[in-house]
Amino acid sequence: MCFIDSSTSVDIESGEISTAEYYCIECKNKFKALGKKIRCPACMSANVKKV
Ligand SMILES: [Zn+2]
């Protein structure tokens, strides 16, 4: 038996990273972010809205 060691290489580079625009309710800052837990980079508030 021959095992090829390509173990845990997940293909992350799909080339399509979709960033969404958010608006901070606290300081009215507009910023782009991606992910689920978005925080305002200016005031670190989680009170943001998707634009
Ligand atoms: Zn803010």
Average pLDDT, rounded, for the chain = 84
Domain boundaries, the chain: 20-50
Does residue 4 carry a pLDDT above 80? no
> What's the predicted TM-score (pTM) here?
0.63
Neighbours of 18 (CB within 10 A): 5
Cβ atoms of 36 and 9 within 8 Å: the answer is no
pLDDT of residue 14: 59
Centre of ligand 1 to C-alpha 1, Å, is 57
5-29 pLDDT per residue, tens: 666 555 555 566 778 999 999 999 9
Does residue 40 carry a pLDDT above 80? yes
Centre of ligand 1 to C-alpha 46, Å, is 8
Centre of ligand 1 to C-alpha 17, Å, is 23
Centre of ligand 1 to C-alpha 38, Å, is 11
- Report the distance separating Cα 38 and Cα 49, nearest Å: 9
